[in-house]
């Protein structure tokens, strides 16, 4: 199993405030090296790969905003977030997206299975097989119904005790609410919310062509692919988030 470099985020990198959330302007390689450093040194993070869904929801749900503010490392996933970072910091013109799907794939390929928990996701075992990884190699997989009830959360925390890394693939907002509850119960574990990343890796949901990803049009591909499910999210619910981003950029 490939083992990428291990190094903390350089101290010279400073976060950029985006709608009050501190976004760390790093690329995927830096993130993965930092997370491997966490695993090796006993440090941990709660990672959010920020997109417009997070921003829009945090504007209308104070409890969700509170959960996001508990994250220790926020990176720019959505194209609008990258745009806002670049507008505020022109020196970061080369910044690219850190997508949850790509980060998940590369982390799965490089982390020791015995140190990893996978919570949620559609058929994570198929996703592992697609990456030529053995689903029986020691991964701790919870792919049934995940409850946010206190006792269920305590049981889950006990089950993942000792695991250094946990992928939480329940989608927004449930994954952030679950991590918020698990965070104080799992002092050894780094958490990352990865939404539908396992579906993408398994091929159950098709990602946009690379040219659309590079142009920030992945949302359009998903909308065309699943219009009945996604039209309201993209064309109604996200609008306040986009407006909040523009206002935030104008304020500087």
Residue 37 pLDDT grade (very low, low, confident, very high; cuts 50, 70, 90): very high
Q: Which residues contact 224 (CB under 8 A, 6 or more apart)?
A: none
**Residue 11 within a domain:** no
pLDDT above 70: residue 3: no
For 95-107, what is the mean pLDDT?
96
Q: With a cut of 60, say whether residue 215 has pLDDT above it.
A: yes
Confidence label for 101 from pLDDT (cuts 50, 70 and 90) = very high
pLDDT single digits (tens) 39-78: 899 999 999 999 999 999 999 999 999 999 999 999 999 9
Neighbours of 195 (CB within 10 A): 23
Instruction: Please tell me the predicted confidence (pLDDT) of residue 220.
Output: 84
For residues 198-214, give the mean pLDDT: 89
Instruction: Look at residue 9 and tell me if it is in a domain.
Output: no
Q: Please say whether the beta carbons of 125 and 204 come within 8 A.
A: no
Query: For 123-173, how does the pLDDT look when each residue is reduced to its tens digit (9 = 90+)?
Result: 999 999 999 999 999 999 998 899 999 999 999 999 999 999 999 999 999
Task: For residue 184, give its domain range.
Answer: 16-247
Say if residue 218's pLDDT is above 80.
Answer: yes
Give the contacts of 209 (CB within 8 A, at least 6 positions apart).
221
190 within some domain = yes
Count of structural domains within the chain: 1
pLDDT bracket for residue 112 (50, 70, 90):
very high
Q: Which residues are 247's β-sheet partners?
A: none
Q: Is residue 8, in this structure, part of any structural domain at all? A: no
Secondary structure (H, E, C), the chain:
CCCCCCCCCCCCCCCEEECCEEECCCCHHHHHHHHHHHHHHCCCCEEEEECHHHHHHHHHCHHHHHHHHCCCEEEECCHHHHHHHHHHCHHHCCCCCCCHHHHHHHHHCCCCHHHEEEEECCCHHHHHHHCCCCCCCCCEEECCCCCCCHHHHHHHHHHCCCCCEEEEECCCCHHHHHHHHHHHHCCCCEEEECCCHHHHHHCCCCCCCHHHHHCCCHHHHHHHHCHHHHHHHHHHHCHHHHHHHHHHHHHC
The whole-number average pLDDT for the span 96-112 is 96
Q: 252 in a domain, yes or no?
A: no
Domain contains 218: yes
On whether residue 194 sits in a domain, the answer given is yes
Which pLDDT belongs to residue 210? Answer: 87
* 43 burial type by CB count under 10 A (0-12 exposed, 13-18 middle, 19+ buried): middle
Does the pLDDT at position 235 exceed 90? no
| Among 222, 205, 218, CA closest to 80 | 218
On the question of pLDDT at 4 being above 80, the answer is no
pLDDT at 231: 84
Residue 6 belongs to a domain: no
pLDDT score, position 56:
97
State the pTM of this model: 0.94
Cis upstream peptide for 231 (omega within 30°): no
Q: How confident is the model at residue 2 (pLDDT cuts 50, 70, 90)?
A: low
């Amino acid at each position: 199993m490939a083992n990428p470099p291990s190094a903390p985020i350089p101290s010279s990198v400073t976060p950029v405030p985006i709608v009050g959330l501190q976004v760390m302007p790093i690329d995927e390689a830096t993130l993965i090296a930092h997370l491997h450093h966490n695993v090796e040194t006993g440090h941990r993070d709660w990672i959010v790969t920020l997109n417009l869904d997070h921003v829009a929801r945090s504007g209308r749900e104070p409890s969700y905003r509170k959960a996001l503010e508990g994250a220790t490392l926020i990176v720019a996933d959505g194209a609008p977030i990258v745009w806002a970072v670049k507008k505020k910091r022109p020196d970061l013109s080369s910044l690219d997206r850190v997508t949850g799907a790509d980060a998940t794939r590369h982390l799965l390929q490089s982390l020791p299975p015995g140190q990893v928990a996978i919570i949620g996701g559609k058929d994570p075992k198929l996703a592992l097989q697609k990456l030529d990884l053995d689903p029986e190699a020691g991964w701790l997989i919870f792919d049934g119904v995940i409850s946010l009830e206190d006792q269920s959360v305590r049981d889950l925390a006990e089950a993942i005790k000792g695991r250094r890394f946990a992928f939480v693939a329940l989608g927004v907002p449930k994954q952030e609410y679950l991590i918020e509850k698990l965070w104080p119960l799992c002092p050894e574990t780094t958490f990352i919310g990865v939404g539908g990343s396992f579906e993408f890796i398994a091929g159950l949901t098709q990602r946009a062509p690379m040219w659309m990803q590079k142009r920030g049009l992945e949302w359009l591909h998903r909308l065309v692919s699943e219009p009945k499910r996604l039209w309201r999210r993209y064309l109604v619910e996200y609008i306040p988030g986009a407006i909040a981003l523009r206002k935030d950029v104008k304020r500087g």
